């Protein structure tokens, strides 16, 4: 499947023209991962956006990173599939990854979009940049709302902790 077709189906590239999609496709790198492969680890530097062309990726948090019981192991907080993107926060702040990403399907194909090249495209083509940043804001807002709901459910439905 051509890269532009994959990008066209990703929410983060919603309403980009065919020419704009071709520009983004020109900076993408394709990579294939296997079941269990770590795309990136929690608390590592990040400067790439990922779009799933085929396969499945789990976004995981490790409770040990915040001093919780480390016998539990990583907890999956989201499962991403074809057309979905992850790693968007790296486009905004270049901070440390807030979670890990691990492949759960054989031959998972990802499109990797480097931040520096994407920002150059956005600067060079302001209409592309506007649409992309609007979509990025909408995507992050949806993920924040979902996280907020999960936190509310946890606080409301968790059994009381005994001291």
Alpha-carbon span 159 to 156, nearest angstrom: 9
**3-state DSSP helix/strand/coil % of the chain, to nearest 5:** 45, 25, 30
List pLDDT tens digits, range 17-35.
999 999 999 999 999 999 9
> CATH for 3-150?
2.60.120.10
**pLDDT (mean) for 117-128:** 96
Domain boundary assignment for the chain: 3-150
What 8-state DSSP symbol labels residue 85? E
Statement: residue 158 has pLDDT above 70: no
- Tell me, what's the pLDDT at 126? 97
Statement: residue 129 has pLDDT above 90: yes
- Tell me, what's the pLDDT at 163? 56
Which 3 state secondary structure label does DSSP give 94? coil
Whole-model pTM?
Answer: 0.85
Instruction: For residue 86, list its beta bridge partners.
Output: 50
What 8-state DSSP symbol labels residue 96? B
**pLDDT (mean) for 91-109:** 91
Query: Closest Cα partner for 38 from 100, 87, 82, 105?
Result: 100
What proportion of the chain, given as a percentage, has pLDDT over 70? 92
- Tell me, what's the pLDDT at 161? 63
List pLDDT tens digits, range 86-97.
998 878 887 889
- Tell me, what's the pLDDT at 71? 64
Distance between alpha carbon 79 and the CA centroid of its chain, in Å? 10
Q: If phi over 0 gives left and psi between -120 and 50 gives alpha, with beta otherwise, what is residue 83?
A: left
List pLDDT tens digits, range 40-82.
999 999 999 999 999 999 999 987 766 665 567 788 989 999 9
């Amino acid at each position: 499947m051509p890269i532009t077709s994959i990008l066209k189906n990703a929410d983060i590239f919603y309403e980009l023209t065919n020419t704009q999609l071709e520009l983004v496709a020109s900076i993408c790198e394709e990579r294939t991962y296997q079941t269990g492969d770590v795309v990136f680890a929690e608390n590592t530097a990040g400067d790439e956006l990922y779009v799933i062309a085929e396969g499945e990726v789990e976004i995981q948090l490790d409770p040990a990173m915040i001093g919780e019981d480390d016998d539990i192991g990583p907890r999956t907080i989201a499962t991403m599939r074809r057309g979905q993107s992850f790693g968007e926060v790296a486009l905004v702040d270049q901070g440390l990854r807030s979670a890990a990403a691990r492949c759960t399907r054989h031959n998972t194909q990802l499109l990797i979009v480097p931040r520096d090249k994407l920002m150059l495209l956005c600067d060079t083509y302001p209409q592309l940049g506007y649409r992309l940043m609007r979509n990025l804001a909408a995507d992050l807002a949806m993920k924040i709302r979902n996280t907020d709901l999960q936190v509310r459910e946890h606080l409301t439905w968790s059994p009381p902790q005994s001291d």
